[in-house]
Structure 1
């Protein structure tokens, strides 16, 4: 039997970030540590002085004599012992002030919110009425007729008292009376004022009035700044984060752009100590019905830029609906006219300029504003990054399609080296020197349009356009370009019948991929008629192993470079090493995509979405990690702000009804935040003086084991693995009988060898090699579990407050009444080795628990895998492992380990090479048993990519 080595840890083991002690039985070796896990970053620390002019020089902490006049109130203790330092801007630092704008002394308490009574639920009579109103309108989205019926039933059931609401109108009027979050909708109209045709009929679009509905951006920003639910998610000053002397880029306020804006504001002494609040904006046209109606809406969103990326991604109003823009339409004979296209574009810019005008006075002069920590601050606003996909970016930048909105690279060769950056100033100079036609043809500039940022201080739309992972990389470069090129390459180099066979086998390989938490299962491969963003993300996780062996090495490497790029830039923390790796991925992609030139892309690779990858490194230095400025944020916002309100309307002139729905939902959300902050919702709705009797079971607080993965709210810690809350019933408890039931006749022997290691931690020979006669006799009852839950810090994936995420590892004879499922896991053995070199892979065949000599042992029976070679596969970049065997190669190498040895789940995909997957009698449940070698899938999720590679 092969033995595995682990690096032992002294006990009790203290994790430096969570300061918790890991409780383990005496003699148990804890193999969990933090070396391979992404490290959380402190939310705040004390002020540090400006860095040296050369940012490559190591960062030096401040001396004790440093001036700390503008020290922001810290939210958590200073940097941890692992070397993270946060330096705040020394002048534009959000110093708290009083209501008159005078700076408060350091440590001064914040004034209370108001003097309302602790039980004031107005306009609701009490908490129960508020909870019912919120339940009916927000949670159940109950139709008005059903509300009327419910109130009548309540009135009949309790005739001696009035129901909480008399009818639907009473419910709606009560919600409308909520003062919290009351930002009314306003509107303005825009009409065409250009020359009319001298002859013929005047097109209807020239005389029509276009109405734009909006809410004050100033009011929305002030509501967000004052939201007490955000008090731990806002930065009061631009910051620079250093870890071990290297710069890190996290959210918008950690990038260079916010710091540079603060430097400009600091030139005016009146701004010293102010809080800089840039707006983050986004817009995206969406369709709520297709066919005859083809109903479209054009929502415009905005949020404060000093919020963290996690807040902006979460469904917590970090981005709010600001407006519905007008969508001019005309008949087919006028839709292609130059006049109509120009009007449609300028209408867009005119509407945005009008909506944001209320911010302009406070972009140079401070406005005293209440903030989430209850302090007042002198706020100076600015126009910040704009989230948009490529067609919208072209519209925003006033450029011709197929040109880059950020640089002057020619449309036929966008990747041309040394292309100048676009700017308002450069455009003005070109307007003076060239005609409109020359600007269009030679520079891709639509010279007769005026960008909405014109006239706003410190605003240039070319600088503010952000990265767009969803449309530029995931849907654009990967799905629409590279995947399509691979298919075209196969068809160009094979006869039709053979090409069809290869493509069918690629689909089969995708279909038989082993299941994994959060992994989309493609039952028929890539045969989708309409792809969503989640479909493209799911395909990216399993595509490389599917094509390896069917296409040349350079094709695989080109695909691998794109996927590697996407996973690198998707991280929540971008450091200098990541930027180097991103540059390498871009260089590799440009090198290996040449394999497609002759047969697939003879016209070259000048594609705007694909070209955008060369701008990612500079943009990440400017704006921080891209995952907080991606169009997936506005895409998800459509559901709440547009699609659900539309479904609640009667579809007859629905916009007005949608405005009311959004306003009522915002008021209910603001009321809940206010009531929660005042402690009015902390107690149970109904007191329960007699708690239920405890259930005599090992799982007193069972969670839903059907959930494979998701976010976990709670304090940040480095992770743990726990068995499921409930053990499996109606199975043998005797160890020998249980072993036979699970098809593991050596279970008792392996438990005895495990106990030898636990009872003799300093023995010269391991339990795997010692004579069985020297191992403890075991006859205790064993309880079987079907899964374990791994919790770990993974902020780059879907996670809860604090960045924690869970996934379920399964080991069961039947999954959903189907075949068995035995998942794979990572185990750590060398904290000093990088990536997978410090990890082991194994497959779990059983989770179980037993007691021996009064000590509880939660365990797993695993089958070891060994790496093939000393490096990852050169084509896919993935490590390849093979299952270990003993006894001449006819039996698997099994071992019992404590669950604390498990790090988290691992995803293995079979190496098919040039072989074809059988068409019949082969399912995804057979993969881990049928293949002889496996790729360790580093793209299973972003956390796996960070720790294992």
Structure 2
């Protein structure tokens, strides 16, 4: 039941304190030990809550913050006539509907079956028919009279019932565009003779459903706000906490004058991105446009709920190869795009200057006025939206051949409609194209709407600019090019193979995607890039120059900082520092010949705009294109797979409409307490079934102080007597360690249990129960979490997890919450979880080995702390017993390999035993980066 024995590496691993290959010296625990054993004179749960509160308040969304809302555009509730209500007036009652009215369904079970078949299982029509036949056959076999109704006669009955749902009903409409310019001489190109159809739904109706969705009652801001920490520094989180919404409110005050007081400003968030669904005979492209609102919190928009809706499917004009690159055709495609968006959004335009009364998620009516807000798009889409030339920045006037000659600072002129109009009057189209990167013969759709400027509406795009762009497409590729330049193809292949082995040997961790063969695969997704970022830096350290490692470390710090859900003014300073260091260190690629022409790259240049975009729009992870890409799955790819594949778009539109109706009816029934349990989980994932061994990282519920609990069921077939159990796990000193643990709990004070006579320690318990794992629940809003920002993580300590290899995970322990970052933490490895009862008190415990930092500072190159195992005087890893409440959360260690090549037989399950030193991986998730940075 031990962890696997150490694997001997072919060469001694270097000490991170120097470049020499010397092994780290053996160190023995002093007396008293360098770590302070956790003692509980107060109940462990109370102590746990206190320490977790201290650390989370210093790092995350502080409970001591204050919020100031806009004094005029304040989102005051009103009645249906628009008259404002006194404070604390309850919302008016919902429209009358009997408690047994599930129409068009018979009852709640009838609705749940329809929702299960159509939404959850996405059952095909043929399978629905067969399922109902089997149900009818079952009724005839079981029921006494042989008769019984089935929920639906067949697929047509199911679909017609869903179609008759009235809530959430927003019908699809269409219009067509054709070329109306002067025809060229000779034969007309095919695209000039075609009619291109655009399908859309009324954006105003969609926003009514979103704003009135009771599921968002606690997740909306009805007024622009400014959030301050306890030391009076700004905090940027949800969209309405940014400066853009506040400035728009100030503009509305000037525009509306008498009608401004109490009005609700609703920013309209848009996003678009072409996507492809592939079949054996080719591929089909679709161009969906999505719509959301800026009032809903970022966590709701990220959670794949109905805060983001399909607005339209744009036309994709195509022609033959002969005319595909013609200027006339390319101009027509741009005009179709902008004209379509202007037409689709037309129903909102009257209410951008005159408020309308809408019932909101909390049940109150409000006077709402719209405005075009951020547009979520990747770089090619941003270029199209801003009407600029490919290779230029759509937000500033930096030249395409000198984008980043800025020393990390943005000193160029910001683009705007006014600036472009002035240039149009002064220069011809060619001069605009060559000198300013402006496509002068196409007008952005935003010109037609009040208070809208596309250049300031473009949101930061973490997925394509940072993760897939700068990291995967640039830095990872440049490292490989550097290795080929220095070592040749054969030498580079050998080094890359070792890098792959290092990546594959990274120990397991909840949510960490495994790369069994390293990074050598062709089809990359955004999730692949995010997973590689977590383990890539230790893998290349030692194979590339230190400056190259520092460049990637600085960039990854920038990436993790801008991806936080809560960004303070201090975080902005850290972002500036990381970006400046990245710009300084990346010159190594230029000097090595990988980038001889410099770094005039639009996606890397966009990083210089992030500080201002964060101040404008709040945390970028609420406006990332990963949100629209994830929506592609439900709105495009899954409906396409359910279609007949022939003229599929019409079928996809119907499927989307039915899904929206079912979701809207579910919300309507739930807010009336007409469902016994939620059918659709709030986060869009399957409900937690209560299975203690699941690995769902979502912890639902409001924010609470963190806690760690043992698994619900103890391990079967394990001896219960303490002595037999100690022999069973191969740790005969366990009774002694447990007695010293009890001394710390009851009598310790300032006395170290290791310095007292064993006879002075309490007797060990006679019976113990082993547990395979523990679950840590803690506040981590930047990671995948529930609506309260709570994340769930399993820490394992078993010789075989789910019939796989052994897993003895590492964890952080609280050392001193007043010390910043890793200095306030311990790292241990869990060898065993167990529990015993003594004097009517339960003691959930863990047997651990300890790690200590090698140096007083993190590694200069990687920015990560380096630790090595604590050894006892026999040269074995020092063990002790701790209370489970000491555990803060899981930790991830990656071996320091230096220049040594890993043996091929080394596996991830052996990694924690094979190395002499380890990086404390602050990149394994966002919360680790916050607490170990």
Same fold (TM over 0.5): yes
2:327 aligned to which of 334, 338, 354: 338
Corresponding position of 1:947: 931
Structure 1 position 705, deviation (Å): 4.5
How far, CA to CA, are the matches of 2:117 and 2:882 in structure 1? Answer: 50
Corresponding position of 1:133: 114
CA contact (8 A) 2:38 2:744 kept: no
1:724-803 aligned within 5 A: 724-762=711-749, 764-803=750-789
Corresponding position of 2:158: 171
1:89-488 aligned within 5 A: 89-156=70-137, 157-158=139-140, 159-199=146-186, 201-244=187-230, 245-267=232-254, 268-290=257-279, 292-417=281-406, 418-488=411-481
* 1:856 maps to 2:856: no
CA contact (8 A) 1:284 1:298 kept: yes
Corresponding position of 2:10: none
CA contact (8 A) 1:410 1:416 kept: no
1:886-897 aligned within 5 A: 886-888=872-874, 890-897=875-882
Structure 1, 155-164 or 808-817: larger mean CA deviation: 155-164
How far, CA to CA, are the matches of 1:401 and 1:147 in structure 2? Answer: 49
Corresponding position of 2:637: 643
Q: What are structure 1's unaligned runs of at least 5 residues?
A: 14-21, 43-79, 686-700
Write out per-residue CA displacement over residues 211-242 of structure 1, whole angstroms, 9 at most, x where no aligned residue: 10000000000111111111111111000000
Q: 1:126 to 1:394 in 2, by over 3 A?
A: same
Structure 1, 805-814 or 769-778: larger mean CA deviation: 769-778
How far, CA to CA, are the matches of 1:362 and 1:354 in structure 2? Answer: 15
Structure 1 position 706, deviation (Å): 4.0
How far, CA to CA, are the matches of 2:910 and 2:853 in structure 1? Answer: 21
Corresponding position of 1:905: 890
Structure 1 position 707, deviation (Å): 3.0
Structure 1 position 8, deviation (Å): 7.0
Corresponding position of 1:928: 912
Q: 1:517 to 1:179 in 2, by over 3 A?
A: same
Write out per-residue CA displacement over residues 39-93 of structure 1, whole angstroms, 9 at most, x where no aligned residue: 6988xxxxxxxxxxxxxxxxxxxxxxxxxxxxxxxxxxxxx8x531000000001
How far, CA to CA, are the matches of 1:374 and 1:817 in structure 2? Answer: 51
* 1:33 maps to 2:57: no
Q: What are structure 2's unaligned runs of at least 5 residues?
A: 1-28, 141-145, 680-687
CA contact (8 A) 1:6 1:830 kept: no
How far, CA to CA, are the matches of 1:330 and 1:9 in structure 2? Answer: 75
Structure 1 position 124, deviation (Å): 1.4
Write out per-residue CA displacement over residues 295-348 of structure 1, whole angstroms, 9 at most, x where no aligned residue: 111000001111100000012111100100001111111111111111011101
Corresponding position of 1:667: 661
CA contact (8 A) 1:31 1:901 kept: no
CA contact (8 A) 1:723 1:787 kept: yes
Give SS of 1:712's match: coil
What is the root-mean-square deviation in Å for CA atoms of aligned residues? 1.9
CA contact (8 A) 2:565 2:781 kept: yes
Corresponding position of 1:657: 651
How far, CA to CA, are the matches of 1:818 and 1:320 in structure 2? Answer: 41
Give SS of 1:710's match: coil
How far, CA to CA, are the matches of 2:799 and 2:150 in structure 1? Answer: 53
CA contact (8 A) 2:45 2:885 kept: no
Write out per-residue CA displacement over residues 420-446 of structure 1, whole angstroms, 9 at most, x where no aligned residue: 000111111000000100100011000
CA contact (8 A) 1:36 1:835 kept: no
Structure 1 position 152, deviation (Å): 3.3
Corresponding position of 2:6: none
Give SS of 1:776's match: coil
How far, CA to CA, are the matches of 1:30 and 1:98 in structure 2? Answer: 43
Corresponding position of 1:17: none
Q: 1:155 to 1:844 in 2, by over 3 A?
A: closer
Structure 1 position 108, deviation (Å): 1.8
Structure 1 position 639, deviation (Å): 0.5
Write out per-residue CA displacement over residues 916-937 of structure 1, whole angstroms, 9 at most, x where no aligned residue: 1112x21111111110000000
Corresponding position of 1:84: 65
Aligned pair count reads 881
Structure 1 position 38, deviation (Å): 5.3
Structure 1 position 167, deviation (Å): 2.1
CA contact (8 A) 2:342 2:448 kept: no
Give SS of 1:825's match: strand
Corresponding position of 2:17: none
CA contact (8 A) 1:38 1:794 kept: no
Give SS of 1:672's match: helix
* 1:813 maps to 2:799: yes
Give SS of 1:924's match: coil
How far, CA to CA, are the matches of 1:780 and 1:8 in structure 2? Answer: 23
Corresponding position of 1:522: 515
* 1:547 maps to 2:540: yes
Corresponding position of 1:677: 671
Q: 1:655 to 1:810 in 2, by over 3 A?
A: same
Give SS of 1:870's match: coil
How far, CA to CA, are the matches of 1:922 and 1:173 in structure 2? Answer: 59
How far, CA to CA, are the matches of 2:452 and 2:339 in structure 1? Answer: 16
CA contact (8 A) 1:311 1:318 kept: yes
How far, CA to CA, are the matches of 2:812 and 2:475 in structure 1? Answer: 31
Structure 1 position 260, deviation (Å): 0.2
Give SS of 2:447's match: coil
Structure 1, 815-824 or 795-804: larger mean CA deviation: 815-824
How far, CA to CA, are the matches of 2:787 and 2:925 in structure 1? Answer: 19
The ranges of structure 1 where at least 4 consecutive aligned residues each deviate by more than 6 angstroms after the TM superposition are 7-11, 28-31, 39-42
Structure 1 position 500, deviation (Å): 2.1
How far, CA to CA, are the matches of 1:520 and 1:175 in structure 2? Answer: 38
How far, CA to CA, are the matches of 1:648 and 1:818 in structure 2? Answer: 36
2:825 aligned to which of 810, 835, 839: 839
Q: 1:705 to 1:487 in 2, by over 3 A?
A: farther
Q: Which of 1 and 2 has higher RCO (CA within 8 Å, sep 6+)?
A: 2
How far, CA to CA, are the matches of 2:378 and 2:412 in structure 1? Answer: 22
Structure 1 position 269, deviation (Å): 2.0
How far, CA to CA, are the matches of 2:286 and 2:356 in structure 1? Answer: 33
CA contact (8 A) 2:37 2:882 kept: no
Structure 1 position 842, deviation (Å): 0.8
Structure 1, 551-560 or 753-762: larger mean CA deviation: 753-762
CA contact (8 A) 2:542 2:899 kept: yes
How far, CA to CA, are the matches of 2:617 and 2:487 in structure 1? Answer: 46
2:590 aligned to which of 590, 597, 606: 597
Give SS of 2:794's match: strand
TM-score by length of 1: 0.91
Write out per-residue CA displacement over residues 144-192 of structure 1, whole angstroms, 9 at most, x where no aligned residue: 2222233334444255343322222221111111110011000011111
Give SS of 2:421's match: helix
Write out per-residue CA displacement over residues 757-785 of structure 1, whole angstroms, 9 at most, x where no aligned residue: 112032x4211221212222224111111
1:581-620 aligned within 5 A: 581-598=574-591, 599-620=593-614
